[in-house]
């Protein structure tokens, strides 16, 4: 069959062919977008068997859909997982996973630097259900392991983190959590399966905001959970009831985007490395945060567990927020926007986007400088991006460089 044995192919081939062999409508080579909500059966016994899951097929769009299924299969193959289930957004994937697996009295150990929405689930919503979130300093591995050893249902990790690109040692933490009897969930959104495969390091579940690199075109929201079949089935069951279903049109857009995932991500990572090196030498730049730089705090761990270092970097400017106000509007080849992972470069200050609700002190405690700019590298020619940054940085008045 076309695309057969995609599971064993290399990642680029999996990006293109993964899941695509599942479906053929009158010889169409592309996956059709099936908008139908219901699926009709002339034979009531067959209908009954499909409804019970005894034979393949679909009943109702909230539960499953052929287009959505192909999307799930593609991600499942890219992450080398047993099973996959999808969601309307990345946050739906995260919250459905946590609310499926956690019970009153459970502890969940995680990082202070998780994605903003995830952090809110931990600090604002889980305590309502008597679930205790324990958020540790992100790179304090001893502390994370000691908290897990005191009893935890889930160790929830993210690496690299947003927006300061911190790295945690996945293998070390996964092994420690398993020894302590905890499940490990990893948000792999920033790394993508092209750069990092947490399931191969032993993680139980991997989550993506497909809205970002997987889709890659900033035109569809989506989320996905892949990993151990028994866990994914429980999470799927919660989602089919709770209703955070991925729309078939979004599934199609994400699917089409994923066919170029490997090309985009390789280009974005190579460009990010060059841009990070350029910024590190620039007099108006205070600090550059990118795990590919040899002086990054956890560069050695990143080198061990990642292929390339990701398409997102961040940097802070000398001279207070006025420097940010001057720089950003001068960028020609960047949307000033909150999303990331798209083919177009996107830039913005965490102070006004992901971390807008935090106080100055809270941001400082997370190591987020007030003048930090998150820069998600697109697939433009890197020479143009560097030239663009150079001309924009030249607009920052010199007195702002030295006052810091
Ligand atoms: C964007 C993002 C999410 C949330 O995804 P949505 O699709 O916006 O709901 C979760 N984790 C990370 C790391 C993200 O960047």
Ligand 1: centre distance to CA 318 (Å): 29
Residue ranges per structural domain of the chain: 6-258, 261-401
Question: Is the confidence at residue 22, as pLDDT, over 80?
Answer: no
Q: Name which of 160, 143, 161 is nearest 152 in CA terms.
A: 143
Backbone angles phi, psi at 83, to 5 degrees: -150, 160
pTM value surpassing 0.75:
yes
212 is catalytic: yes
Instruction: Give, rounded to a whole angstrom, the gap between the first and last alpha carbons of the chain.
Output: 63
Please pick, among 74, 212, 239, 318, the residue that the annotation labels catalytic: 212
CA of 91 to the centre of ligand 1 (A): 6
Calculate helix-pair angle for 261-280, 382-394, nearest 10 degrees. 40
**CA 89 / ligand 1 centre spacing (Å):** 8
Give the span between the Cα atoms of 402 and 392, in whole angstroms: 17
Please answer whether residues 136 and 143 qualify as being in contact, where contact means their C-beta atoms are separated by less than 8 angstroms.
Answer: yes
- Which spans in 247-397 are helix H? 248-258, 261-280, 299-305, 321-330, 360-365, 382-394
- Nearest-atom number in ligand 1 for the CA of 190 is 13
d(C-alpha 211, C-alpha 180), whole Å: 33
Q: Which residue, 101, 100, 207, is CA-closest to 152?
A: 101
Burial-class residue 47 by CB neighbours within 10 Å (0-12, 13-18, 19+).
Answer: middle
Cα 332 to Cα 110, 124, 328, 347, 371, distances in angstroms: 38, 38, 9, 11, 20
Which of 21, 39, 62, 256 is flagged as catalytic?
Answer: 62
Report CA-CA distances (Å) from 308 to 24, 149, 190, 271: 35, 32, 11, 11
What backbone phi and psi angles, to 5 degrees, belong to 227?
145, -145
Annotation marks residue 62 as catalytic: yes
Catalytic residue among 106, 113, 169, 187: 187
**Which pLDDT tens digit goes with each residue over 150-167?**
999 999 999 999 999 999
Question: Which atom of ligand 1 has the smallest separation from the CA of 211?
Answer: 7
Q: Which of the four pLDDT bands, split at 50, 70 and 90, describes residue 402?
A: low
**Which amino acid residue places its CA nearest to atom 4 of ligand 1?**
90
CA of 218 to the centre of ligand 1 (A): 12
Average pLDDT over residues 64-73: 96
DSSP letter at 31?
-
163, 209, 311, best to mutate for ligand 1 pocket (most atoms within 8 Å of CB):
209
Percentage of residues of the chain with pLDDT beyond 70: 98
Q: Whose CA is nearest to atom 11 of ligand 1?
A: 115
Q: What is the mean pLDDT of residues 261-288?
A: 98
pLDDT score for 4: 65
* Cβ(81)–Cβ(262) below 8 Å: no
Who contacts 79 (Cβ-Cβ below 8 Å, separation ≥6)? 188, 193, 197, 199, 206, 226, 227
pLDDT band at 358 (very low <50, low <70, confident <90, very high): confident
Higher local confidence (pLDDT), 403 or 6:
6
- Of 96, 265, 103, give the one whose Cα is nearest residue 190: 265
Whole-number Å distance, alpha carbon 99 to ligand 1 midpoint, is: 17
Q: If you average pLDDT over residues 11-18, what whole number do you get?
A: 95
4 Cα: distance to centroid of ligand 1 (angstroms): 32
Please pick, among 74, 115, 290, 351, the residue that the annotation labels catalytic. 115
Q: 19, 11, 32: which is closest to 70 by C-alpha?
A: 19
Residues facing residue 185 across a β-bridge = 156, 205
Q: What is the pLDDT of residues 91-142, one digit of tens each?
A: 999 999 999 999 999 999 999 999 999 999 999 999 999 999 999 999 999 9
CA 44 – CA 333 distance, rounded (Å): 57
Pocket of ligand 1 (CB under 6 A): 89-91, 115, 117, 158, 162, 187, 189-190, 209, 211-212, 221, 223
Task: State the average pLDDT over residues 173-180.
Answer: 98
Which CATH number fits the domain 261-401, given the four candidates 2.60.40.10, 3.60.40.10, 1.10.150.530, 3.90.1150.10?
A: 3.90.1150.10
Q: Give the integer Cα–Cα distance in Å for 27 and 345.
A: 37
pLDDT of 374-395, one tens digit each?
999 999 999 999 999 999 999 9
Tokens for 100, please give them: 């499926």
* Active-site residue, 115 included: yes
Question: Residues 217-234: what's their mean pLDDT?
Answer: 98
- Residues paired with residue 156 on neighbouring β-strands, in sequence order: 185
Which conformational region is residue 80 in: left (phi greater than 0), alpha (psi within -120 to 50 degrees), or beta? left
Minimal-distance CA residue to ligand 1 atom 5: 90
Half-sphere exposure of 67 (CA within 13 A, CB side): 22
Residue 144 CA to ligand 1 center (angstroms) comes to 23
Say whether 187 is catalytic. yes
Q: Which two tokens stand for residue 353?
A: 């986007």
Residue from 110, 120, 168, 212 to probe ligand 1 pocket by mutation (most atoms less than 8 Å from CB):
212
Fold of 6-258: 3.40.640
- Could you give the strand order of the β-sheet that contains 154-158, starting from the edge strand earlier in sequence? 83-87, 223-227, 205-209, 183-187, 154-158, 107-111, 132-136
């Amino acid at each position: 069959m076309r695309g057969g044995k995609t599971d064993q192919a290399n990642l680029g081939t999996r990006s293109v062919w993964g899941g695509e062999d599942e479906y053929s409508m009158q010889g169409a080579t592309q996956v059709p977008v099936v908008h139908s909500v219901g699926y009709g059966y002339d034979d009531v016994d067959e209908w009954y068997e499909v409804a019970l899951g005894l034979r393949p097929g679909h009943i109702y769009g909230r539960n499953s859909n052929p287009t959505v299924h192909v999307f799930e299969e593609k991600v499942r193959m890219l992450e080398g997982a047993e099973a996959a289930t999808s969601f309307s957004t990345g946050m739906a994937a995260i919250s459905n996973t946590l609310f499926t697996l956690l019970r009153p009295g459970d502890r969940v150990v995680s990082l202070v630097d998780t994605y903003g929405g995830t952090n809110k689930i931990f600090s604002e919503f889980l305590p309502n259900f008597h679930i205790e979130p324990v958020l540790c300093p992100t790179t304090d591995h001893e502390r994370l392991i000691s908290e897990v050893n005191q009893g935890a249902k889930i160790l929830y990790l993210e690496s690299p983190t947003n927006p300061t690109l911190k790295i945690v040692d996945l293998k070390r933490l996964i092994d420690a959590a398993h020894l302590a009897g905890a499940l490990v969930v990893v948000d792999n959104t920033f790394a993508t399966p092209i750069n990092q495969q947490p399931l191969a390091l032993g993680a139980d579940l991997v989550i993506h905001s497909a809205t970002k690199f997987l889709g890659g075109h900033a035109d569809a929201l989506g989320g996905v959970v892949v990993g151990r079949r028994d866990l994914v089935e429980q999470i799927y069951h919660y989602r089919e009831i709770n209703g955070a279903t991925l729309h078939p049109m979004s599934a199609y857009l994400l699917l089409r985007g994923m066919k170029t995932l490997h090309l985009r991500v390789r280009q974005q990572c190579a460009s990010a490395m060059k841009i990070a090196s350029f910024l590190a030498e620039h007099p108006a730049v205070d600090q550059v945060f990118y795990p590919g730089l040899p002086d990054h705090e956890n560069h050695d761990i990143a080198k061990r567990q990642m292929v390339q270092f990701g398409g997102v970097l961040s940097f802070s400017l000398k001279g207070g927020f006025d420097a940010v106000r001057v720089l950003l509007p001068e960028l020609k080849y960047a949307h000033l926007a909150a999303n990331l992972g798209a083919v177009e470069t996107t830039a913005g200050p965490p102070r006004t986007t992901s971390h807008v609700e935090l106080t100055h002190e809270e941001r400082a405690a997370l190591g987020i400088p007030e003048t930090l700019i998150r820069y998600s590298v697109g697939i433009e020619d890197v020479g143009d991006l560097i030239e663009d940054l150079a001309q924009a940085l030249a607009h920052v008045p010199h007195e702002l460089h030295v006052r810091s």
